[in-house]
Amino acid sequence: MAFSLIRKLDPPSRGILSRKAVVMLCSLLAPLILLHLLTDRCASPSPIRGSPRNKRLVSERRAAGHGVAEGAVTAVRAGPTVWQLPEESPAFPPPQDLVVSPRLAGKISPLGEGSKKLPQALIIGVKKGGTRALLEFLRVHPDIRAVGAEPHFFDRNYDYGLEWYRDLMPKTLEGQITMEKTPSYFVTREAPARISAMSRDTKLIVVVRDPVTRAISDYTQTLSKKPDIPSFESLTFKNRTTGLIDTSWSAIQIGIYAKHLDNWLQYFPMDQILFVSGERLISDPAGELGRVQDFLGLKRIITDKHFYFNQTKGFPCLKKAEGSSKPHCLGKTKGRTHPNIDPEVVQRLRDFYRPFNMKFYQMTGRFFGWDH
Protein backbone atom coordinates (compact mmCIF):
# COMPACT_ATOMS: atom_id res chain seq x y z
CA MET A 1 0.00 0.00 0.00
CA ALA A 2 2.73 2.47 0.98
CA PHE A 3 4.72 1.44 -2.02
CA SER A 4 1.81 2.21 -4.37
CA LEU A 5 1.36 5.71 -2.88
CA ILE A 6 5.00 6.48 -3.36
CA ARG A 7 4.71 5.48 -7.03
CA LYS A 8 1.83 7.93 -7.56
CA LEU A 9 3.91 10.85 -6.21
CA ASP A 10 6.87 10.29 -8.55
CA PRO A 11 7.98 13.45 -10.53
CA PRO A 12 6.25 13.94 -13.93
CA SER A 13 7.88 12.55 -17.04
CA ARG A 14 10.20 14.52 -19.36
CA GLY A 15 7.47 14.76 -22.05
CA ILE A 16 5.13 16.57 -19.72
CA LEU A 17 7.85 19.05 -18.68
CA SER A 18 8.69 19.83 -22.32
CA ARG A 19 5.06 20.65 -23.17
CA LYS A 20 4.74 22.97 -20.17
CA ALA A 21 7.97 24.77 -21.10
CA VAL A 22 6.71 25.40 -24.66
CA VAL A 23 3.41 26.80 -23.36
CA MET A 24 5.20 29.16 -20.94
CA LEU A 25 7.64 30.32 -23.63
CA CYS A 26 4.79 31.10 -26.06
CA SER A 27 2.92 33.05 -23.43
CA LEU A 28 6.02 35.20 -22.88
CA LEU A 29 6.74 35.75 -26.58
CA ALA A 30 3.17 36.53 -27.68
CA PRO A 31 3.04 40.09 -26.16
CA LEU A 32 6.43 40.89 -27.67
CA ILE A 33 5.30 39.78 -31.14
CA LEU A 34 2.05 41.75 -30.80
CA LEU A 35 3.96 44.87 -29.74
CA HIS A 36 6.28 44.52 -32.73
CA LEU A 37 3.34 44.22 -35.13
CA LEU A 38 1.63 47.27 -33.68
CA THR A 39 4.83 49.32 -33.96
CA ASP A 40 5.19 48.44 -37.66
CA ARG A 41 1.54 49.26 -38.26
CA CYS A 42 1.85 52.72 -36.72
CA ALA A 43 5.00 53.53 -38.73
CA SER A 44 3.46 52.52 -42.11
CA PRO A 45 2.24 55.25 -44.56
CA SER A 46 -1.32 56.47 -44.16
CA PRO A 47 -3.92 55.40 -46.75
CA ILE A 48 -4.12 58.99 -48.10
CA ARG A 49 -0.40 59.27 -48.82
CA GLY A 50 -0.37 55.91 -50.60
CA SER A 51 -3.71 56.16 -52.39
CA PRO A 52 -3.79 55.74 -56.19
CA ARG A 53 -5.21 59.23 -56.62
CA ASN A 54 -2.40 60.67 -54.54
CA LYS A 55 0.17 58.85 -56.66
CA ARG A 56 -1.47 60.37 -59.75
CA LEU A 57 -1.11 63.83 -58.24
CA VAL A 58 2.56 63.20 -57.55
CA SER A 59 3.02 62.09 -61.16
CA GLU A 60 1.28 65.25 -62.40
CA ARG A 61 3.47 67.29 -60.09
CA ARG A 62 6.61 65.70 -61.52
CA ALA A 63 5.30 66.23 -65.07
CA ALA A 64 4.86 69.91 -64.28
CA GLY A 65 8.55 70.13 -63.52
CA HIS A 66 8.46 70.10 -59.71
CA GLY A 67 10.90 67.78 -57.96
CA VAL A 68 9.58 65.51 -55.22
CA ALA A 69 11.60 64.44 -52.19
CA GLU A 70 10.75 61.93 -49.50
CA GLY A 71 9.64 63.05 -46.09
CA ALA A 72 8.38 66.64 -46.27
CA VAL A 73 4.69 67.39 -46.74
CA THR A 74 2.77 70.14 -48.49
CA ALA A 75 -0.89 70.71 -49.35
CA VAL A 76 -1.99 70.40 -52.97
CA ARG A 77 -5.46 70.97 -54.37
CA ALA A 78 -7.25 68.03 -56.01
CA GLY A 79 -10.71 69.37 -56.80
CA PRO A 80 -12.36 70.57 -53.59
CA THR A 81 -10.06 68.47 -51.42
CA VAL A 82 -6.69 69.40 -49.97
CA TRP A 83 -4.32 66.43 -50.26
CA GLN A 84 -1.07 65.88 -48.39
CA LEU A 85 1.85 65.25 -50.73
CA PRO A 86 5.63 65.01 -50.50
CA GLU A 87 7.08 68.50 -50.80
CA GLU A 88 9.44 69.77 -53.45
CA SER A 89 13.07 69.90 -52.38
CA PRO A 90 14.98 72.02 -51.59
CA ALA A 91 12.59 74.98 -52.08
CA PHE A 92 8.83 75.39 -51.87
CA PRO A 93 6.88 75.02 -55.13
CA PRO A 94 5.46 78.04 -56.97
CA PRO A 95 2.39 79.72 -55.40
CA GLN A 96 -0.07 77.98 -57.72
CA ASP A 97 0.81 74.62 -56.17
CA LEU A 98 0.19 75.77 -52.62
CA VAL A 99 -3.30 75.70 -51.21
CA VAL A 100 -4.47 77.22 -47.98
CA SER A 101 -7.54 75.79 -46.32
CA PRO A 102 -10.47 78.08 -47.25
CA ARG A 103 -11.44 78.30 -43.58
CA LEU A 104 -7.99 79.61 -42.64
CA ALA A 105 -7.01 81.53 -45.78
CA GLY A 106 -6.34 85.16 -45.07
CA LYS A 107 -6.64 84.70 -41.31
CA ILE A 108 -3.34 83.11 -40.32
CA SER A 109 0.06 84.80 -40.40
CA PRO A 110 2.57 82.20 -39.18
CA LEU A 111 5.59 84.12 -40.50
CA GLY A 112 4.73 87.58 -39.22
CA GLU A 113 2.04 90.07 -38.45
CA GLY A 114 -0.92 90.76 -40.71
CA SER A 115 -2.79 88.54 -43.13
CA LYS A 116 -3.24 88.15 -46.87
CA LYS A 117 -6.45 89.62 -48.23
CA LEU A 118 -8.02 89.94 -51.64
CA PRO A 119 -7.40 93.43 -53.06
CA GLN A 120 -9.86 96.18 -52.22
CA ALA A 121 -8.58 98.41 -55.06
CA LEU A 122 -7.25 97.67 -58.55
CA ILE A 123 -5.40 99.70 -61.15
CA ILE A 124 -7.09 98.23 -64.23
CA GLY A 125 -5.61 100.32 -67.05
CA VAL A 126 -4.45 101.45 -69.39
CA LYS A 127 -1.36 100.02 -70.98
CA LYS A 128 1.29 102.72 -71.58
CA GLY A 129 -0.84 105.19 -69.65
CA GLY A 130 1.34 105.54 -66.55
CA THR A 131 0.13 102.67 -64.38
CA ARG A 132 3.63 101.66 -63.22
CA ALA A 133 4.41 105.20 -62.13
CA LEU A 134 1.13 105.45 -60.23
CA LEU A 135 1.69 102.16 -58.42
CA GLU A 136 5.25 103.08 -57.42
CA PHE A 137 4.09 106.46 -56.13
CA LEU A 138 1.22 104.90 -54.15
CA ARG A 139 3.49 102.37 -52.47
CA VAL A 140 5.07 105.24 -50.56
CA HIS A 141 1.83 105.50 -48.55
CA PRO A 142 2.05 103.48 -45.30
CA ASP A 143 -1.57 102.33 -45.60
CA ILE A 144 -1.15 100.82 -49.07
CA ARG A 145 0.39 97.42 -49.73
CA ALA A 146 0.67 96.35 -53.35
CA VAL A 147 1.96 93.49 -55.47
CA GLY A 148 4.92 94.58 -57.61
CA ALA A 149 4.38 92.23 -60.57
CA GLU A 150 1.20 92.16 -62.62
CA PRO A 151 -0.84 89.09 -61.55
CA HIS A 152 -3.05 89.01 -64.69
CA PHE A 153 -5.57 87.06 -62.64
CA PHE A 154 -8.81 88.35 -64.16
CA ASP A 155 -7.63 87.93 -67.74
CA ARG A 156 -5.12 85.07 -67.98
CA ASN A 157 -4.99 83.17 -64.67
CA TYR A 158 -8.62 83.14 -63.55
CA ASP A 159 -8.82 79.34 -63.54
CA TYR A 160 -6.33 79.18 -60.64
CA GLY A 161 -9.05 80.49 -58.32
CA LEU A 162 -9.30 83.20 -55.68
CA GLU A 163 -7.20 81.36 -53.10
CA TRP A 164 -4.25 81.33 -55.51
CA TYR A 165 -4.87 85.02 -56.19
CA ARG A 166 -5.03 85.86 -52.48
CA ASP A 167 -1.76 84.05 -51.86
CA LEU A 168 0.00 86.46 -54.26
CA MET A 169 -0.97 89.43 -52.12
CA PRO A 170 1.28 90.96 -49.45
CA LYS A 171 0.24 90.74 -45.81
CA THR A 172 -1.67 93.73 -44.53
CA LEU A 173 -2.63 95.02 -41.11
CA GLU A 174 -6.06 96.27 -40.08
CA GLY A 175 -6.80 99.51 -41.94
CA GLN A 176 -4.30 98.93 -44.76
CA ILE A 177 -5.44 98.57 -48.38
CA THR A 178 -4.30 95.71 -50.61
CA MET A 179 -3.78 96.65 -54.28
CA GLU A 180 -2.53 95.30 -57.56
CA LYS A 181 -2.26 96.63 -61.10
CA THR A 182 -2.81 94.86 -64.41
CA PRO A 183 -3.49 97.34 -67.24
CA SER A 184 -5.00 94.78 -69.61
CA TYR A 185 -8.04 94.34 -67.34
CA PHE A 186 -9.62 97.50 -68.78
CA VAL A 187 -9.83 96.00 -72.29
CA THR A 188 -10.69 92.43 -71.19
CA ARG A 189 -14.39 91.77 -71.75
CA GLU A 190 -14.71 89.20 -68.95
CA ALA A 191 -12.83 91.24 -66.33
CA PRO A 192 -15.70 93.43 -65.00
CA ALA A 193 -17.96 90.45 -64.24
CA ARG A 194 -15.12 88.51 -62.63
CA ILE A 195 -14.04 91.40 -60.41
CA SER A 196 -17.64 92.08 -59.45
CA ALA A 197 -18.01 88.41 -58.48
CA MET A 198 -15.01 88.80 -56.15
CA SER A 199 -16.40 91.98 -54.59
CA ARG A 200 -18.87 94.57 -55.82
CA ASP A 201 -17.20 97.10 -53.54
CA THR A 202 -13.83 96.93 -55.33
CA LYS A 203 -12.49 100.39 -56.18
CA LEU A 204 -11.14 100.73 -59.71
CA ILE A 205 -8.47 103.14 -60.94
CA VAL A 206 -7.81 103.84 -64.63
CA VAL A 207 -4.84 105.90 -65.81
CA VAL A 208 -5.70 107.35 -69.22
CA ARG A 209 -3.56 109.24 -71.70
CA ASP A 210 -3.97 110.94 -75.08
CA PRO A 211 -4.89 107.88 -77.19
CA VAL A 212 -2.70 108.96 -80.12
CA THR A 213 0.39 109.38 -77.92
CA ARG A 214 -0.51 106.17 -76.11
CA ALA A 215 -0.69 104.24 -79.41
CA ILE A 216 2.73 105.53 -80.49
CA SER A 217 4.18 104.60 -77.08
CA ASP A 218 2.65 101.13 -77.38
CA TYR A 219 4.22 100.71 -80.82
CA THR A 220 7.59 101.97 -79.50
CA GLN A 221 7.58 99.31 -76.80
CA THR A 222 6.82 96.56 -79.30
CA LEU A 223 9.47 97.90 -81.67
CA SER A 224 12.12 97.66 -78.94
CA LYS A 225 11.36 93.93 -78.64
CA LYS A 226 10.70 93.18 -82.31
CA PRO A 227 12.75 95.55 -84.51
CA ASP A 228 11.52 93.93 -87.73
CA ILE A 229 7.81 94.78 -87.33
CA PRO A 230 6.10 96.94 -90.00
CA SER A 231 6.02 100.71 -89.68
CA PHE A 232 3.52 102.47 -87.44
CA GLU A 233 1.88 104.04 -90.49
CA SER A 234 1.30 100.71 -92.25
CA LEU A 235 -0.17 99.12 -89.12
CA THR A 236 -2.51 102.05 -88.49
CA PHE A 237 -4.51 101.73 -91.71
CA LYS A 238 -6.49 98.92 -93.24
CA ASN A 239 -6.17 100.86 -96.48
CA ARG A 240 -3.79 103.82 -96.61
CA THR A 241 -5.44 105.19 -99.77
CA THR A 242 -8.92 105.37 -98.25
CA GLY A 243 -7.58 106.32 -94.83
CA LEU A 244 -9.60 103.56 -93.08
CA ILE A 245 -8.20 102.98 -89.57
CA ASP A 246 -7.50 99.39 -88.53
CA THR A 247 -9.34 99.18 -85.18
CA SER A 248 -8.40 95.51 -84.82
CA TRP A 249 -4.80 96.56 -84.04
CA SER A 250 -4.54 96.55 -80.26
CA ALA A 251 -2.50 99.76 -80.19
CA ILE A 252 -5.49 101.55 -81.76
CA GLN A 253 -8.26 99.61 -80.01
CA ILE A 254 -7.07 100.26 -76.45
CA GLY A 255 -7.47 104.03 -76.94
CA ILE A 256 -11.22 103.81 -77.64
CA TYR A 257 -11.83 104.41 -73.93
CA ALA A 258 -15.58 105.10 -74.15
CA LYS A 259 -16.23 101.69 -75.70
CA HIS A 260 -14.39 99.84 -72.94
CA LEU A 261 -15.94 101.95 -70.19
CA ASP A 262 -19.43 100.98 -71.38
CA ASN A 263 -18.58 97.39 -70.50
CA TRP A 264 -17.43 98.31 -66.97
CA LEU A 265 -20.51 100.41 -66.23
CA GLN A 266 -22.65 97.30 -66.57
CA TYR A 267 -21.11 96.02 -63.33
CA PHE A 268 -19.77 99.05 -61.42
CA PRO A 269 -21.21 102.51 -60.75
CA MET A 270 -19.18 105.49 -61.93
CA ASP A 271 -18.43 106.59 -58.36
CA GLN A 272 -16.36 103.40 -57.90
CA ILE A 273 -14.11 104.21 -60.86
CA LEU A 274 -11.44 106.93 -60.72
CA PHE A 275 -9.80 108.22 -63.90
CA VAL A 276 -6.27 109.53 -63.48
CA SER A 277 -4.72 111.76 -66.13
CA GLY A 278 -1.46 110.30 -67.40
CA GLU A 279 -0.36 113.77 -68.50
CA ARG A 280 -1.06 115.36 -65.09
CA LEU A 281 0.68 112.43 -63.40
CA ILE A 282 3.83 113.84 -65.04
CA SER A 283 3.16 117.58 -64.72
CA ASP A 284 1.53 117.49 -61.25
CA PRO A 285 2.08 114.08 -59.59
CA ALA A 286 1.16 115.30 -56.11
CA GLY A 287 -2.13 116.71 -57.37
CA GLU A 288 -3.17 113.45 -59.05
CA LEU A 289 -1.97 111.41 -56.06
CA GLY A 290 -4.10 113.62 -53.82
CA ARG A 291 -7.19 112.64 -55.83
CA VAL A 292 -6.27 108.97 -55.62
CA GLN A 293 -5.74 109.11 -51.86
CA ASP A 294 -9.12 110.81 -51.41
CA PHE A 295 -10.77 108.18 -53.62
CA LEU A 296 -9.28 105.39 -51.48
CA GLY A 297 -10.35 107.08 -48.26
CA LEU A 298 -6.77 107.63 -47.11
CA LYS A 299 -5.06 110.56 -45.47
CA ARG A 300 -3.12 112.72 -47.94
CA ILE A 301 0.38 111.67 -46.98
CA ILE A 302 1.97 111.68 -50.46
CA THR A 303 2.61 115.34 -51.33
CA ASP A 304 4.97 117.58 -53.32
CA LYS A 305 7.79 116.88 -50.89
CA HIS A 306 7.99 113.27 -52.16
CA PHE A 307 8.86 114.18 -55.79
CA TYR A 308 11.54 115.81 -57.89
CA PHE A 309 11.56 116.22 -61.67
CA ASN A 310 14.22 114.32 -63.60
CA GLN A 311 15.18 116.48 -66.59
CA THR A 312 16.93 113.60 -68.37
CA LYS A 313 13.98 111.22 -68.26
CA GLY A 314 11.37 113.93 -68.55
CA PHE A 315 9.14 112.77 -65.72
CA PRO A 316 8.97 112.94 -61.91
CA CYS A 317 10.86 110.59 -59.63
CA LEU A 318 10.51 109.75 -55.96
CA LYS A 319 12.94 111.32 -53.51
CA LYS A 320 12.63 108.17 -51.39
CA ALA A 321 11.11 104.94 -52.60
CA GLU A 322 9.28 102.42 -50.44
CA GLY A 323 11.74 100.73 -48.06
CA SER A 324 14.67 102.87 -49.25
CA SER A 325 16.35 106.13 -48.34
CA LYS A 326 17.58 106.72 -51.90
CA PRO A 327 15.88 108.53 -54.82
CA HIS A 328 14.02 106.28 -57.22
CA CYS A 329 13.11 106.73 -60.89
CA LEU A 330 11.32 104.22 -63.08
CA GLY A 331 13.50 101.84 -65.09
CA LYS A 332 15.18 102.31 -68.45
CA THR A 333 12.14 100.84 -70.25
CA LYS A 334 10.12 103.91 -69.21
CA GLY A 335 10.43 107.16 -71.13
CA ARG A 336 11.66 105.69 -74.43
CA THR A 337 12.16 108.12 -77.30
CA HIS A 338 9.29 107.79 -79.78
CA PRO A 339 10.00 107.34 -83.49
CA ASN A 340 9.04 110.14 -85.87
CA ILE A 341 5.57 109.50 -87.23
CA ASP A 342 4.15 111.05 -90.41
CA PRO A 343 2.21 114.16 -89.23
CA GLU A 344 -0.64 113.32 -91.64
CA VAL A 345 -1.05 109.95 -89.96
CA VAL A 346 -1.07 111.58 -86.51
CA GLN A 347 -3.75 114.04 -87.65
CA ARG A 348 -5.84 111.25 -89.16
CA LEU A 349 -5.69 109.44 -85.83
CA ARG A 350 -6.73 112.59 -83.96
CA ASP A 351 -9.75 112.91 -86.22
CA PHE A 352 -10.58 109.26 -85.65
CA TYR A 353 -10.39 109.44 -81.85
CA ARG A 354 -12.15 112.83 -81.45
CA PRO A 355 -15.78 111.56 -81.25
CA PHE A 356 -14.75 108.76 -78.88
CA ASN A 357 -12.86 111.23 -76.70
CA MET A 358 -15.88 113.56 -76.52
CA LYS A 359 -18.10 110.71 -75.40
CA PHE A 360 -15.50 109.69 -72.82
CA TYR A 361 -15.37 113.26 -71.43
CA GLN A 362 -19.16 113.22 -71.06
CA MET A 363 -19.20 109.80 -69.37
CA THR A 364 -16.50 110.70 -66.84
CA GLY A 365 -17.40 114.33 -66.32
CA ARG A 366 -13.78 115.33 -66.85
CA PHE A 367 -12.13 117.10 -69.80
CA PHE A 368 -8.68 115.67 -70.49
CA GLY A 369 -7.72 118.08 -73.30
CA TRP A 370 -6.48 115.60 -75.88
CA ASP A 371 -8.12 117.24 -78.89
CA HIS A 372 -5.79 119.93 -80.21
DSSP H helices in 44-142:
47-50, 52-63, 131-138
pLDDT at 310: 85
pLDDT tens profile 160-218? 999 999 999 999 999 999 999 999 999 999 999 999 999 999 999 999 999 999 999 99
Number of H-type helices and E-type strands within the chain: 14, 13
Is the CATH number of domain 113-210+249-335+356-362 3.40.50.800?
no
The answer to whether 128 is a known catalytic residue is: yes
Which one of 116, 117, 127, 128 is the catalytic residue? Answer: 128
Max Cα–Cα distance, the chain, nearest Å? 146
Residues near 211 by beta carbon (within 8 Å), at least 6 away in sequence: 254, 255, 256, 257, 349, 353, 356, 357, 370
Query: pLDDT confidence of 21, banded at 50, 70, 90?
Result: low
pTM of the model: 0.69
**Rounded to an integer, what distance in angstroms lies between the CA atom of residue 339 and that of residue 232?**
9
Instruction: Please give the average per-residue pLDDT across 75-90, as a whole number.
Output: 35
pLDDT at 304: 92
**Rounded to an integer, what distance in angstroms lies between the CA atom of residue 111 and that of residue 184?**
33
Report residue 267: phi and psi, to 5°.
-125, -25
331 is in an annotated binding site: no
pLDDT at 112: 55
Residue scoring higher pLDDT (194 or 94): 194
pLDDT at 200: 98
pLDDT at 135: 96
334 is in an annotated binding site: yes
148 is in an annotated binding site: no
Residue scoring higher pLDDT (94 or 129): 129
- As to burial, measured by CB atoms within 10 angstroms (0-12 exposed, 13-18 middle, 19+ buried), residue 257 is buried
209 is in an annotated binding site: yes
**Rounded to an integer, what distance in angstroms lies between the CA atom of residue 234 and that of residue 5?**
130
Amino acid identity, position 372? H
At residue 204, the 3 state secondary structure works out as strand
> Which of 198-212, 223-237, 324-338 has the lowest average pLDDT?
324-338
